[in-house]
Amino acid sequence: QMSVAKVRPIIEEGAARAHVLGQQYLVWQILWPEQMANKQLLDAFCGAMNEAGKICAREGLTFNFHNHSAEFKPVEGGLVPYDYILANTDPKLVKLEMDSYWFADAGRDAIEYLRRNPGRYVQCHLKDRAKNGDFETVGQGTVDFAAFIAAARKSGVKHWYVEYDRSADPMRASREAAEYLKRWF
């Protein structure tokens, strides 16, 4: 179970390292299925994330939660973990790092989430999804990056990261993604 007592030392250590490295953000990168199986577990997670946000704010850092597609699958009681996290964490303390691939993989409208939650998303992973569901070089898959980037900018996203989880040729994929994204950056 995710508890404040378990999260506090992790975040405090992360904050200390962030200061040494000159970082501005701390990101909680994953929530495992067994950590979000019901409301009780989600309440514990949200409490821990709010505490992490308080620690980061006190340290002059911004705390973020990064999504995957699993958080969109309903759990016990029909709760959608991602929506529950959005509703039960403090928007001033817990920001979000949106991953375009995982929203697409979950069949969710990332642009609608950006529109409904202005100021909540500050970082974005630009990652494309192939028609067969696999990862793809940014600009060669199914994500509408023109609309996505426009909505993300309007929503307040400040930082962008190109990502491709399993590329056979990462340098080629990086060059092609950079060339494709030039029109917006």
> What are the tens digits of pLDDT across the range 99-155?
999 999 999 999 999 999 999 999 999 999 999 999 999 999 999 999 999 999 999
In this prediction, residues 155-159 reach a mean pLDDT of 97
List the structure tokens of 38. Answer: 């019901």
Strands 62-66 and 94-99: parallel
**Whole-angstrom distance, CA of residue 12 vs CA of residue 63:** 12
How much is the pTM?
A: 0.93
In this prediction, residues 43-51 reach a mean pLDDT of 95
**Whole-angstrom distance, CA of residue 54 vs CA of residue 178:** 36
Give residue 123's pLDDT. 97
> What are the tens digits of pLDDT across the range 67-97?
999 999 999 989 999 999 999 999 999 999 9
Residue 33 has pLDDT above 90, yes or no: no
